[in-house]
Amino acid sequence: MLINQKAFDGQECPYHVIDWKSSKLPRVTRSSLGAEAQAAGQAEDSVDFICRFWECLKDPNETLAEILERPSSLAPVLVTDAKALYDSFHRDGFGTGLTDRRTALEVKVIKEGLQSLGGSLRWQGSSNTPAEPE
């Protein structure tokens, strides 16, 4: 969704849903972290497309190669309630502390993709997730 940066400071802000998906994961996973990493990878892929498309709309005379070389002006933020995914994302090194190599690779791809966009990953506890019952 598109939302004002002030929302991350706790202010209520209007927002616009750009993309939404609910589906079964394409691969069987060995852990809940693997499932979260797969879902985050799909989300990062959507974010990448949306950000690059936005830049193409803003600068229609630039080549895609030029657009791919710079961060997005949207400053994307991927939000997760999976603390293990957040912790794995912010660890230094490749696959540090992860026993599943596929999950380690998925987390690394997500991290590099978000970094190329100038984006970040944030953790939001599930107690503050609107979809959770009170």
Residues 84-101 pLDDT 10s: 999 999 987 665 566 678
**Sign (positive/negative) of CA torsion 127, 131, 133, 134?**
positive
Residue 132 lies in a domain: no
Domain total in the chain: 1
pLDDT at 128: 60
Phi/psi zone of residue 129: left (φ > 0), alpha (ψ -120 to 50 degrees), beta? beta
What value does the mean pLDDT take over residues 17-34? 85
pLDDT for the residue 94: 61
Fill in the DSSP letter of residue 31.
Answer: S
Domain membership flag for residue 4 = no
Res 132 pLDDT > 60: no
Give me the amino acid identity at 3: I
When mean pLDDT is compared across 61-70, 101-110, 120-129, the lowest value belongs to 120-129
Asked if residue 36 is part of any domain, the answer here is yes
Containing domain of residue 73, as a range? 31-123
Residue 22 lies inside a defined structural domain of this protein: no
pLDDT at 84: 92
100: in domain: yes
The reply to whether 6 falls in a domain is no
Token pair 């957040």 in the structure block, residue: 86
Residue 37 lies in a domain: yes
Structural domain contains residue 92: yes
